[in-house]
Amino acid sequence: MTERSLVLVKPDGVQRLLVGRVIARFEDRGLRLVGLKLVHVDRDFAERHYAVHREQPFFAGLVAFITSGPLVAMALEGPNAISVVRAMVGATRPWESAPGTIRGDFALEVGQNLIHASDGPETAAAELALWFPEGTLSYPREIDRWVLGPAS
């Protein structure tokens, strides 16, 4: 089933010059990039993004961190994209992330875990609407028949 997922390369990933490497991993896997932007979000926007965590003690820290510098927001599309992306990202706690995952390879601390990914279809739909109100693109790729098979 084709899905779309939001992925954010957080300010620490941008500052550490990992954006290209992160995007390349998703493209190498066969996911299609259908939205991409470099943004510096303000407090109001960050609070809307993290609204589900508003009552948690770590909410203020999440908001402060995501507003601390520019980040890259992307929309990725592909079969089971949400699960594929989550597996590639790794566990929230980097020390629990397997080598080969983005967090397992590049992160040490939960506060600087480099990346955010939608955790389910409803979350993905809401996050994509928030981050890409203008919508995302759809386009054919010649490589899809080699990645997804002849029916693509």
Number of domains in the chain: 1
Check whether 26 has a pLDDT greater than 80.
yes
How far apart are alpha carbons 109 and 116 in whole angstroms?
14
- Convert the pLDDT of each residue in 76-111 to its tens digit: 999 999 999 999 999 999 999 999 999 999 999 988
Give the active site residue among 40, 49, 53, 116.
Answer: 116
Nearest to 110 by CA among 96, 122, 124: 96
In a domain, residue 54? The reply is no
In a domain, residue 53? The reply is no
Instruction: Indicate if 49 belongs to the active site.
Output: no
Check whether 151 has a pLDDT greater than 80.
no
Report the phi/psi class of residue 30: left, alpha or beta, with left for phi > 0 and alpha for psi in -120 to 50: left
In a domain, residue 144? The reply is no
Task: Kindly tell me the sign of the dihedral angle through the C-alpha atoms of 107, 125, 46, 22.
Answer: positive
In a domain, residue 44? The reply is no
Confidence of residue 148 (pLDDT cuts 50, 70, 90): confident
In a domain, residue 152? The reply is no
- Convert the pLDDT of each residue in 121-134 to its tens digit: 999 999 999 999 99
CATH code at position 130: 3.30.70.141
What is the extent of the structural domain holding 26?
2-37+73-138
In a domain, residue 132? The reply is yes
How far apart are alpha carbons 39 and 125 in whole angstroms?
20
In a domain, residue 19? The reply is yes
In a domain, residue 120? The reply is yes
Backbone phi, then psi, for 6, in 5-degree steps? Answer: -85, 140
In what helix (H) or strand (E) does residue 71 lie, and over which residues does it extend? strand 71-79
